[in-house]
């Protein structure tokens, strides 16, 4: 996949959801993970993150928005059900992006929304679990920016690999 990405969450309160999201970010190759104003920390969710993401990628825990920083030229993409948000399937992902999701029983704070360069929404009837939402956004990034063959025309068909001569 081209570029880099990070995943984070604002004001998360459930260790299981944090562990799920960290593990998913690690599985898809995130460069780092972050929390802003979380009421749980990574040490509390080690049983949930069976991939031990903390030894494979940096984990940044910011106490508040005043501390929150991102690398130079990294776009912040908020994931939130807002009327003026871009539907995820129509969104062109930045090459350098950090995706931030809101808390389990709430939304991204107005300060976080203001800080975002883009806001995307998953076109569902209502909010889904924060871990599921994160996985969907990361997967959409992967299929948008990854080097995958086009889908076959035939339903369920496979793309026939190109035969290369021995050389």
Averaged pLDDT, groups of 10, the chain, 167 residues long: 90 88 91 93 67 81 96 97 95 97 93 98 92 96 86 74 55
- Which whole-number Å values give the CA distances from 105 to 63, 101, 110, in the listed order? 19, 12, 15
The dihedral formed by the CA atoms of 33, 46, 79 and 62, expressed in degrees to the nearest 10: -50
Predicted TM-score (pTM) of the model is 0.88
Q: How far apart are CA 157 and CA 117, in angstroms?
A: 39
Q: Which domains does the chain have, with CATH numbers?
A: 4-145 (3.40.1280.10)
């Amino acid at each position: 996949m081209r570029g880099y990405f990070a995943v984070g969450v604002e004001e998360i309160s459930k260790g299981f959801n944090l562990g799920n999201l960290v593990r998913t970010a690690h599985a898809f190759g995130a460069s780092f993970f972050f929390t802003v104003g979380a009421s749980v920390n990574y040490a509390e969710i080690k049983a949930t993150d069976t991939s031990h993401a903390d030894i494979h990628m940096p984990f940044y825990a910011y106490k508040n928005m005043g501390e929150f920083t991102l690398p130079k030229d990294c776009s912040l993409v908020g994931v939130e059900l807002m009327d003026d948000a871009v539907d995820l399937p129509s969104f062109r992902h930045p090459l350098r992006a950090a995706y931030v999701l809101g808390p389990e029983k709430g939304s991204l704070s107005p300060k976080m929304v203001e800080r975002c360069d883009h806001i995307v929404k998953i076109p569902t009837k209502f909010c889904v679990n924060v871990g599921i939402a994160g996985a969907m956004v990361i997967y959409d990034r992967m299929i948008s920016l990854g080097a995958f063959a086009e889908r076959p025309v035939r339903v369920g068909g496979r793309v026939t690999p190109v035969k290369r001569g021995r050389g």
